Structure 1
Amino acid sequence: MFERFTENARRTISAAVEIAAETGATRAGPEHLLLGLAADERGTAASVLAGYGLTASALRAATPRPGGRRCLTDEETSALRGVGADADEVFRRIEQEFGSAALFDQPEPPVRSRPRDWLAGPLDAGARKVLELCLREAIALRHREISTGHLLLALLRHDLPGPVSTAVRRAGVTYGDARRRVVHALRQPR
């Protein structure tokens, strides 16, 4: 399947792995793929995201940093406020009761060594699922190659994790509208 990816799509996936490593994640996830898409200004996905006002820096700010305190989405924080709770106080009490490491993300356990293909490498299960879905997106559109646009559509179909999902939703990005924009962009001569 790797041979079907365009050069930009391959660069995006490599960038996602680098971004994950920079942020301390043990594997690249869907949020890192989205950051890679936004960072590649030559890609279809970056231009579509820019049309919604989503830049690499805005998405990076919305991406939780592994090894730090687990983030709550805006909806979760609102739900806590709705019942009269303060998120900072909740965190303080959990740390007081269970220790300061209780709210820190734990790294994924190491995968047993076995022969791997390119997709099984430094990507988590969510990112691997996105790569499967981008092949389906390309097939559905009757495209021979898998571009960054197909990666974006697969990410939107898969659902992004918490805070990144909130940022994308706030920008008004929907699968249907993004699909229309990607198809239009892919029809344009380069």
Structure 2
Amino acid sequence: MFERFTVDARGVVAGAVEHASRAGSPVVTEEHLLLAILDREGTKASFALASLGVTDRRAELTEALAAGRRRGGMSKAEEDALAGLGISVQEIVARVEEVHGPGALSGETLGKAWPSGRPSFTKGSKKVLEKALRLAVARKQKYIGDEHLLLALAVLPGLAGEALAECGGTYAGLERLLSTPPA
């Protein structure tokens, strides 16, 4: 599959590994992939994110990802569903952090790096790569670009897609921009 990745898509994967390494994480998550896409310039994905105003809201998006990690990776929708049952996720997080310290639910120590010390990919980040391949195939494209990775992040359930949508990067909006041939 990786032989089908464009230079931009490979750059996203390498950037995600760098984000994970800088954060001291033994694993590459979907959030790392999203942050790496946001770092790129002059690509199809960066064009789409800028057109939707997501690039201008990077700080807000980063905060949403951090808040989600603090909730143990739980999405806002999952938190709202539990609130409907009378369960306060914020209260649970506060109690756990009171006993175990700040960020105890972040899961940053979960997962194992390769013996070389390089971060491995989580199931979620692997699903993003697989979905990107499926999106490219559905579009009858023989390559996997950073735009496919972005669309995969937007369409799959989870924290990264939710944070992206909250900042204006919905799947529908991204799909509309990325399926339009350049003028």
TM-score by structure 2 length? 0.76
SS of corresponding position for 1:25: coil
| Equivalent residue, structure 2, for 1:40 | 40
User: For residues 163 and 100 of structure 2, what CA distance do their matches in structure 1 show?
Assistant: 31
How many residues align? The count is 177
CA contact (8 A) 1:69 1:103 kept: no
Contact 2:30 2:153 in 1 (8 A): yes
**By how many angstroms is 1:74 displaced?**
5.1
Structure index of larger Rg: 1
CA contact (8 A) 1:64 1:71 kept: no
Q: Give the RMSD, CA atoms, in angstroms.
A: 3.4
Check 1:157–1:109 CA distance in 2 against 1; reply closer, same or farther (3 A cut).
same
Indicate which of 170, 175, 179 corresponds to 1:174: 170
| Local SS of the residue matching 1:152 | helix
Query: Any unmatched runs of 5+ in structure 2?
Result: none
The 5 A counterparts of 1:141-160 are 141-160=139-158
CA distance in 2 between partners of 1:155 and 1:86 (Å): 24
Counterpart for residue 19 of structure 1:
19
2:4 aligned partner: 4
1:110 alignment counterpart: 112
User: Which residue does the alignment assign to 2:182?
Assistant: 188
SS at match of 1:63: helix
Q: 1:136, 1:70 → 2: CA distance? A: 28
Q: CA offset at residue 53 of structure 1?
A: 1.3
Q: Give the whole-Å Cα distance in 2 for the aligned partners of 1:66 and 1:156.
A: 16
What letter is aligned with 2:104? L
Change (3 A) 1:82 1:53: farther
Among 63, 66, 69, the residue aligned to 2:65 = 63
**CA distances 1:146-166 after superposition (whole Å, capped 9, x unpaired):** 1111111111222232xx444
What is the CA-CA distance between 1:123 and the residue it aligns to?
1.4
The separation in 2 between residues aligned to 1:38 and 1:69, in whole angstroms, is: 23
1:69 to partner: Cα distance: 7.3
Deviations 1:19-77, CA, capped at 9 Å, x for gaps = 12212222111111111111101211111111221124443333228996747755637
- TM-score, normalization: structure 1? 0.73
The amino acid across from 2:148 in the alignment is: H
2:133 to 132, 135, 154: 135
CA distance in 2, matches of 1:100, 1:35: 26
Q: Residues 113-151 of structure 1: CA distance to partner in whole angstroms, max 9, x if unpaired?
A: 7xxxxxxx6211111111111111111111111111111
